[in-house]
Amino acid sequence: MEFHFLPIFAFLSLALVAIHAALTPEAYWKSVLPNTPMPKAIMDLLHPGKRKAGVGTNIDIDISNIVRYYEAASDNEDQFHDTTNVVAYFLENDMKPGMTMNLHFTKSKNAATFLPRQVVESIPFSSNKMQQILDHFSVKTYSTEADIMKQIIELCEKPGIEGEEKYCATSLESIIDFSTSKLGNYNNVQAIATMVEKETAQVEKYYSIAGAKMVGEDAVVCHKQNYEYAVFYCHKTRATKEYMVSLVGTGDGTKAKAVAICHTDTSQWDPKNLAFQWLKVKPGNTLPICHFLNEDDIVWIAN
């Protein structure tokens, strides 16, 4: 009897794709990443109806989430900074027990949740089809919401800077696929995010309980954007280290486990970058510059 393995293999591959396409985002996570705990930041985006969706109006703060992670070549990135969104830069060797810092961990004002991949793939996501997108969501053409959505799409279409691999993920499934593809394989990846015991409306002083624990030297970081459904700007950049830092507020004792990103090579950054002004250092690769990530930033690291 003659066996034709290639057609059988092709059939099984198509069947597997069909099964994955039929899964909910949460089920897809469990099927692909059974040994990877899901961060609360993602869990909160899986249940439509519990949070009010829709585009907000604070586009500057939402875009600054990206700028904080990788501030580099653009001459006009400083325009995205806002004094209400505190950026606390520090040097890697500052992460010691007892380190104190004024911090304000925030979440995006946009509460849109994930849609299944098969749904979002049926909706255009291109600046060439902007009117069709606005019509789909019943957004007025010349409204603030329309401007915000257009800026997000254009940001996603803009080429990455040197050394950056970027991708705008429009579903949880696509976040998983992009992040794991950049970090090796499904069995060698974990997702982490900053966790704060309770939200505060203002800057708080925190101190480090036991210094920092390095958890990775290779990462994909995804930042939630201000869109009609959950969209994340994901990018992998070179020369970073990732840390988990246990913090306690000096006022009411609020606890936090914060993710810190340290950039070990800043030679390509804009010399006028806010980080250099803040720390009084120059671009280079001798003094790693670090900052914390907000609660809805997802960091993917290789185990």
pTM for the full model? 0.80
- Over 70: is that where the pLDDT of 79 sits? no
Nearest CA among 61, 62, 32, 79 for reference residue 230: 62
pLDDT at 298 over 90: yes
pLDDT, position 191: 95
Assign 65 a pLDDT band (cuts: 50, 70, 90).
very low
Per-residue pLDDT, averaged over 109-128, amounts to 92
Q: Say which range, 61-75, 273-287, 288-302, has the weakest mean pLDDT.
A: 61-75
- Helix 172-182 vs helix 25-32: crossing angle, to nearest 10: 20
Average pLDDT taken over every residue of the chain: 80
Band of pLDDT at residue 165, cut at 50, 70 and 90: very high
> From CA 227, how far away is CA 123, in angstroms rounded?
13
- pLDDT above 70 coverage of the chain, percent: 79
Question: Distances from the Cα of 297 to the Cαs of 54, 66, 143, 204, 230, in angstroms?
Answer: 19, 9, 28, 20, 12
CA dihedral angle for residue 226, residue 57, residue 67, residue 51, rounded to 10 degrees: -40
Render pLDDT for 183-215 as a digit per residue (tens, 0 to 9). 986 677 999 999 998 877 788 899 898 879 999
Using DSSP's 3-state secondary structure scheme, residue 222 falls into strand
